[in-house]
């Protein structure tokens, strides 16, 4: 009897009719000494078990998020002839990089309820703004962080940049700036209809330093004394060399 009920419940749940099948042009980004950015092509298709519903158009959202970390946002003010920090707000987690690409204007592809559920938009990706009781406008600090990182190309909102062909094939490209933070990046692809999420696909991108950049990074963090002495030696040698060249060419 119990097995029969389980089978009836299984058959009564509708099968998912549309799901994402996707890939990336590269799953690893190497940061070298002369790294000036990179571009990742994200492409895929919509797998269907039945004909596509004809009521609402299919929409696609592609997000790429860098590692999240706590951030302290400070507000400066002009006091006594100098700029000083007057207020600060702690943001528990904020992505170091965040890109959103869509097939249509953002507000047309996902509802606010689904946005809150999946943390899709840039403001939703920033969590837990902790402010002292005397600061009444804590939300403005998060907005300032978004504004600063948008200006640095670390936060990107690119509506209507995902190309969707025949309601099946889609593709877009995400430009990664040169000032990337090392770590695992998460790429998510959302299928939506009428603002509701139908399916989500997720994969990882490894962004890491290689070569001389990796060696210097490890040396600075694992053996800071040796790194400091080496830096001092290089500075002294460079100064001595410049002085010697100057004396040689001096009339």
Of these ranges, 8-12, 173-177, 227-231, the one predicted with the greatest mean pLDDT is: 173-177
Write out the DSSP string of 176-238.
EPSSPPPEEEEEEEEEEETTEEEEEEEEEEEEEE-HHHHHHHHHHHH-HHHHHHHHHHHHHHH
Distance CA 20, CA 27 (A): 18
pLDDT band of 78, cuts 50, 70, 90: low
Q: If you write DSSP's letter for every residue of 228-242 in order, what string do you get? A: HHHHHHHHHHHHHHH
Percent of residues, the chain, with pLDDT higher than 90: 42
As a whole number of angstroms, the longest Cα–Cα distance in the chain is 105
The two beta strands, 169-176 and 163-165, are: antiparallel
pLDDT value at position 133? 65
> Can you tell me the distance from the alpha carbon of 101 to that of 163, in angstroms, rounded to the nearest whole number?
10
Say what the pLDDT of residue 167 is. 87
Instruction: Give the chain's mean pLDDT.
Output: 80
* Residue 27 DSSP class: S
pLDDT tens for each residue of 18-61? 889 998 988 888 777 677 778 999 999 998 887 777 678 999 99
**Per-residue model confidence (pLDDT) at position 181:** 87
Determine which of 5-9, 191-195, 213-217, 238-242 has the lowest per-residue pLDDT on average: 5-9
Question: Which pLDDT belongs to residue 114?
Answer: 96
* Rounded-to-integer distance, Cα 70 and Cα 219, Å: 25
> Tens digits of per-residue pLDDT, 86-110?
677 888 899 999 999 999 999 999 9
CATH of domain 17-209: 2.60.40.3880
- Sheet of strand 98-102, all strands in order from the earlier edge strand to the far edge: 28-31, 196-209, 183-193, 58-65, 98-102, 155-158
**What is the reported pLDDT for 217?**
54
Instruction: Considering only CA atoms, give the Rg of the chain.
Output: 25
81 CB-side CA count, 13 A: 0
Confidence of residue 1 (pLDDT cuts 50, 70, 90): very low
pLDDT tens per residue across span 154-196 = 999 999 999 999 889 999 999 999 888 889 999 999 999 999 9
Lowest mean pLDDT among 77-81, 168-172, 197-201, 213-217: 213-217
Give yes or no for a contact between 54 and 66, defined as CB atoms under 8 angstroms apart.
no
Cα gap 226→157, rounded to integer Å:
43
* pTM for the whole structure: 0.74
Look at residues 20, 47, 23 and name the one whose alpha carbon lies nearest to residue 205. 23
At 86 the pLDDT is 63
Determine the average pLDDT of the residues in 74-97.
Answer: 75
Domains of the chain, residue spans:
17-209, 210-251
Mean pLDDT of 82-87: 63
């Amino acid at each position: 009897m119990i097995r029969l009920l389980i089978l009836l419940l299984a058959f009564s749940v509708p099968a998912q009719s549309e799901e994402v099948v996707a890939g990336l042009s590269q799953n690893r980004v190497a940061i070298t000494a002369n790294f000036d950015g990179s571009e990742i092509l994200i492409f895929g298709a919509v797998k269907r078990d039945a004909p596509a519903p004809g009521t609402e158009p299919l929409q696609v959202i592609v997000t790429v998020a860098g590692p999240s970390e706590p951030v302290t946002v400070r507000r400066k003010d002009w006091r006594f002839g100098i700029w000083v920090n007057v207020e600060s707000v702690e943001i528990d987690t904020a992505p170091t990089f965040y890109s959103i690409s869509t097939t249509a204007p953002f507000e047309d592809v996902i509802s606010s309820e689904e946005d809150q559920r999946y943390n899709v938009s840039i403001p939703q990706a920033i969590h837990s703004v902790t402010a002292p009781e005397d600061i009444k406008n804590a939300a403005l600090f998060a907005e300032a962080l978004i504004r600063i990182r948008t200006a640095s190309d670390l936060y990107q909102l690119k509506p209507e940049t995902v190309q969707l062909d025949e309601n099946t094939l889609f593709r877009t490209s995400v430009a990664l700036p040169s000032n990337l933070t090392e770590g695992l990046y998460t790429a998510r692809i959302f299928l939506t209809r009428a603002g509701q999420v139908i399916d989500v696909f997720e994969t990882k991108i490894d962004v890491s330093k290689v070569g001389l950049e990796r060696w210097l990074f490890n040396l600075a963090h694992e053996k800071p004394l040796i790194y400091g002495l080496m830096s001092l030696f290089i500075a002294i040698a460079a100064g001595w060399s410049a002085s010697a060249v100057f004396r040689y060419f001096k009339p």
